[in-house]
Structure 1
């Protein structure tokens, strides 16, 4: 299992492997929009980024699971029933967009999601920073037109992620700043 996700944890390898398997199964039929690669590669990258700054097993597990509610229809209760801790399930919940397409235009929906994320824990914000790092690289490279909208949203999102991990915050801010410096 470690050879698939490359995260070795000294105390909780079983939970790391379980979160990876759970996410892999949930995202099984999904592929990345721009590359066509298996979707699980994105949660793995996010988990690897998170594991580079913390050994908190809840955060690493939640990083694997961060898209599972909004992209796979998994419910928080299902995460808990599957054996994930309440803390891990709540981290995943904090990372899940709350807006719905019926809530209005994209700008309004992203504002709702940003306000919700502003109340998240620093650990959830750390995972969101890793997600931003992973997604931004792909979108900037593969969809220059959408990147204009996406990166403007990320510039605003960074304002509420300031109390996430400092190292990841700086990396994410550099990606956003570099994007705007290259325009």
Structure 2
């Protein structure tokens, strides 16, 4: 299942590039999955880690994820997919959308919270190092998000706290 999820994500993301790194986007979910392999995990968690951005960033739907990988993986991907996006709520400003998203993700499964923590650990350093203007907004958002992810793996939560603190020192 994990290998199938990786190949599915690789195909879905195609030639997408990371915004702040000169690498294929698929490298990000691979690093997220590798972090999860360091803690107690399930095959569904690893699969969802590979797939965590495909619904947000590609044409893939949750229906496709459920069909290809089952309801457990589908539920995790759904929990990790940002509900309060600019596309869905164009009339609402970013602070409101991020506040609502933080409230939503506080109530997702511990497995999804662990995946989200690994996602933050991988994303935050490149943003704080490469876009100080955006980092001024992004770092406090991630700090608030980490605070509500205490249901995730403790080791990842502590690493996420460290990454946020380091980003605060250099980012703004």
TM-score clears 0.5:
yes
Runs of 4 or more above 4 Å deviation? none
In the alignment, which residue of structure 2 is the partner of 1:47? 33
Report the equivalent of 1:6. none
Is the 8 Å Cα contact of residues 59 and 91 (structure 1) preserved in structure 2?
yes
TM-score, L = length of structure 1: 0.87
Aligned to 2:149: 161
- Out of 89, 92, 95, which is 2:77 matched to? 92
TM-score (norm 2): 0.93
Q: CA offset at residue 179 of structure 1?
A: 2.5
Distance 2:150 2:5 in 1: 27
Give the direction of change, closer, same or farther, for the CA distance of 1:136–1:59 in structure 2 (3 Å limit). Answer: same
Q: Which has the higher contact order (CA 8 A, sep 6+)?
A: 2
Structure 1 unmatched runs, 5+: 1-14
* Distance across 2 between alignment mates of 1:178 and 1:38: 25
| Per-residue deviation, 1:92 | 0.5
1:15-60 alpha-carbon deviations (Å, 9 max, x no partner): 1110100000000021101123100000101111111112311111
Distance in structure 2 (CA, Å) of the matches to 1:121 and 1:152: 23
In the alignment, the residues of structure 1 paired with residue 106 and residue 91 of structure 2 have an alpha-carbon distance, to the nearest angstrom, of 19
Match 1:171 to one of 154, 159, 165: 159
Measure, in 1, the Cα distance between the counterparts of 2:16 and 2:99.
27
State yes or no: 1:18 paired with 2:18. Answer: no
One of 103, 108, 111 as aligned partner of 1:123 = 111
Q: Deviation at 1:103?
A: 4.6
For structure 2, list consecutive stretches of 5 or more residues without a partner in the other structure: none
Corresponding residue pairs, total:
168
Q: CA RMSD in A?
A: 1.2
